[in-house]
Amino acid sequence: MKATNQSAAALPLVLWCIMFLAGLVVLGGGLVNRWLEGESLAQRKFIARQMALSGVAVGLNPAIQADSPLLRSGSPDSEGYEVTITGESGRINPNHWVAESNRAVFQRLFESWGHDLDTSEAAIDALVDWIDGDDFPSAKGAEREEYEAAGRPGYPTNRPLSNVREMESVMNLREILMTRGGWKDYFTIWHTGPLDIHDTPDWMLADLAGFTPRQVETIIEFRAGADRIERTADDQKFPSIEAVEALTAADPRQSQALRGFFSTSGGVGIRRIESTGFCNGATHRIVVIGRQDGGGRILSWQEQ
Ligand SMILES: [Ca+2]
Ligand SMILES: [Ca+2]
């Protein structure tokens, strides 16, 4: 009788043990799966970076044109890379525009990103203060005292930006930049002068000059020439900014931007190579700025 009672008591215990062990197996299985997935993702990211590096090597070759089939390899669903080659002279160099005391270029850009004039002015003032050599703050800017009060002694640098990422450190400007994904693509420190209309990306034409999608398309179609591919031998050049105004039927505000920020020359010598590597869903992007002359010397290297 006693033995039967003991058996009856042991049965739920055995069932409980089985359930407990089953739970352990499921939990352990989940952990192992997650670990394997983590390992696999790291491996795929590593391969994606190797792919992106291969793309950079191809893009740096001065003999490679934008329509070369070598700029694409494999497929995003498996392994491979995609490279785009553009110029660097269609971007805003803050050092140049601050030295020129041209605030309008920043005002127009930040306005197109949805910021009011007060917010823009505070950011531009702080950028001017960051770059100028003195310690006297602009109306809404920030010099040594303001950075110290914010717990950031030793700033601003009081010299031109040495890279685009440095803009994130500028008081008031950071808040604006953080509202725009990909903001770094709007700027450069390598091209000095107005933006070359032949090198300016479509989204920059829309944001800075306020062109409609149709007007942007008209400009790109003209630039691309008969083969409809940009940066190939048959590309066309605008003879003047007036020719751009005429082709796009620019309104007065667009004309003002064209005449104030753009030129039709200057975009030679610096190549921007954007290479994205893929491996089964993992991606790795590398942006390299290199000189076309002088053996393709690399000026800047960024990985994302
Ligand atoms: Ca200063
Ligand atoms: Ca072409």
DSSP-assigned states of every residue in 41-67: HHHHHHHHHHHHHHHHHHHT-TT--TT
> Which ligand neighbours the alpha carbon of 222 most closely?
2
Sign of CA dihedral 113, 118, 123, 127: positive
Q: 195 C-alpha vs ligand 2 centroid, how far in Å?
A: 20
Q: 127 C-alpha vs ligand 1 centroid, how far in Å?
A: 9
> Which ligand neighbours the alpha carbon of 156 most closely?
1
> Which ligand neighbours the alpha carbon of 198 most closely?
2
Q: 146 C-alpha vs ligand 1 centroid, how far in Å?
A: 11
Residue 156 has pLDDT above 60, yes or no: yes
Tell me: the pLDDT tens digits for 95-113? 999 999 999 999 999 999 9
> Which ligand neighbours the alpha carbon of 133 most closely?
1
Kind and range of the H or E element at 291? strand 282-291
Q: 110 C-alpha vs ligand 1 centroid, how far in Å?
A: 22
CA distance 189 to 96: 8
Kind and range of the H or E element at 145? helix 144-149
Q: 129 C-alpha vs ligand 1 centroid, how far in Å?
A: 4
Nearest to 276 by CA among 66, 89, 74: 74
CB 234 within 8 A of CB 226: yes
Q: How confident is the model at residue 1 (pLDDT cuts 50, 70, 90)?
A: very low
Which protein residues have their CB within 5 A of the ion that is ligand 1? 129, 132, 158
Burial 156-187 (b: 16+ CB within 10 A, else e): beeebbeebeebeebbbbeebbeebeebbbbb
Going through 34-141 in order, the beta strands assigned E by DSSP cover 72-74, 79-87
Burial class (CB in 10 A: 0-12, 13-18, 19+), 1: exposed
Domain ranges across the chain: 64-88+269-304, 91-180, 194-266
Residue 75 has pLDDT above 70, yes or no: yes
> Which ligand neighbours the alpha carbon of 141 most closely?
1
Q: 201 C-alpha vs ligand 1 centroid, how far in Å?
A: 31
Question: Is-same-fold flag (91-180; 194-266)?
Answer: yes
Q: 30 C-alpha vs ligand 2 centroid, how far in Å?
A: 53
CA 50 to chain centre: 20
Task: Select the CATH number that applies to the domain covering 194-266 from these four: 1.10.40, 1.10.287, 3.30.160, 2.40.360.
Answer: 1.10.40
Nearest to 196 by CA among 251, 252, 235, 249: 235
Q: How confident is the model at residue 230 (pLDDT cuts 50, 70, 90)?
A: confident
| pLDDT (average), residues 75-98 | 92
Q: 265 C-alpha vs ligand 2 centroid, how far in Å?
A: 17
Q: 149 C-alpha vs ligand 1 centroid, how far in Å?
A: 16
> Which ligand neighbours the alpha carbon of 67 most closely?
2
Tell me: the pLDDT tens digits for 113-139? 999 999 999 999 999 999 999 999 999
- The CATH homologous superfamily of the domain defined by 91-180: EpsJ-like (1.10.40.60)
Going through 88-213 in order, the beta strands assigned E by DSSP cover 195-196
Sign of CA dihedral 103, 130, 185, 290: positive
> Which ligand neighbours the alpha carbon of 147 most closely?
1
